[in-house]
Amino acid sequence: MSSLRPLHDRVIVKRLENETKTASGIVIPDNAAEKPDQGEVIAVGPGKKNDKGEFVALGVSVGDRVLFGKYSGQSVKVDGQELLVIKEEELFAVVQK
């Protein structure tokens, strides 16, 4: 994903695929499935400038699995992939592996 470089405190997130079956084996049709609210960070911006004009690095890094709200960020399509551009402050948590 070298064609996108986020600015400031923004991150580029690729949504993780939603489960298409319930635990009991019921198949969920595509139109009834909710968009997942977690994804993988594929690019991070340089950070925000503080009062002194210095960049403060972001708390997430490429490869992190993150949680975010259903309506967070801006959806963009690059090379046929749907990605999200989200400000770091809109991310809820990093999922520990």
- Structural domain includes residue 2: no
Dist. CA 32–CA 48, nearest whole Å: 38
- Structural domain includes residue 54: yes
- Structural domain includes residue 73: yes
Tens-place pLDDT, residues 34-74: 555 889 999 999 888 888 888 888 889 999 999 998 888 89
Q: What average pLDDT does the structure give for the chain?
A: 82
Q: What pLDDT is recorded for position 22?
A: 57
Confidence of residue 21 (pLDDT cuts 50, 70, 90): low
CATH of the domain at 37: 2.30.33.40
- What range does the domain containing 71 cover? 10-18+30-94
- Structural domain includes residue 59: yes
Q: Are 85 and 76 in contact (CB under 8 A)?
A: yes
Total domain count, the chain: 1
pTM: 0.75
